Amino acid sequence: MEQQNDKISFFKGMRDGVPIALGYFAVAFTLGITAGKAGMNALQSSLMSALMLASAGEFAAISMIGSGAGVMEMIVTTVVINMRYLLMSSALSQKVQQNRSFLHRIFMSYAVTDEIFGISMTVPGKLNPFYQYGAASVAAPGWVIGTFLGTVVGMVLPAPVMSAMSVAIYGMFLAVVVPPARKNKIIAAVVVISMSVSLLFQSIPRLKNISSGFQIILLTVLISAAAAILFPVQEEQHAS
The number of beta carbons lying within 10 Å of the beta carbon of residue 38 is 18
Which tens digit of pLDDT belongs to each residue from 188-233? 888 899 889 888 888 888 777 776 667 777 787 788 888 888 888 6
Nearest Cα residue to 68 out of 213, 209, 169: 213
Q: How far apart are CA 46 and CA 151, in angstroms?
A: 8
Spatial distance between the Cα atoms of 131 and 203, rounded to a whole number of angstroms: 49
Give dist(CA 31, CA 35) in Å, integer: 6
Q: What is the rounded distance in angstroms from the CA atom of residue 33 to the CA atom of residue 139?
A: 19
The total of other beta-carbon atoms located within 10 Å of residue 145's CB is: 18
Q: Is the pTM of this model over 0.85?
A: no
Task: Provide the terminal-to-terminal Cα distance of the chain, rounded to the nearest Å.
Answer: 31
pLDDT tens, residue by residue, 46-62: 999 999 888 778 888 88
Is residue 92 within 8 Å of residue 112, measured between CB atoms?
yes
Domain segments of the chain: what residues?
A: 2-159
pLDDT tens, 130-163? 999 999 999 999 999 999 999 998 888 776 766 6
DSSP secondary structure of 6-33: HHHHHHHHHHHHHHHHHHHHHHHHHHHH
| 151 neighbors 35 (Cβ within 8 angstroms) | yes
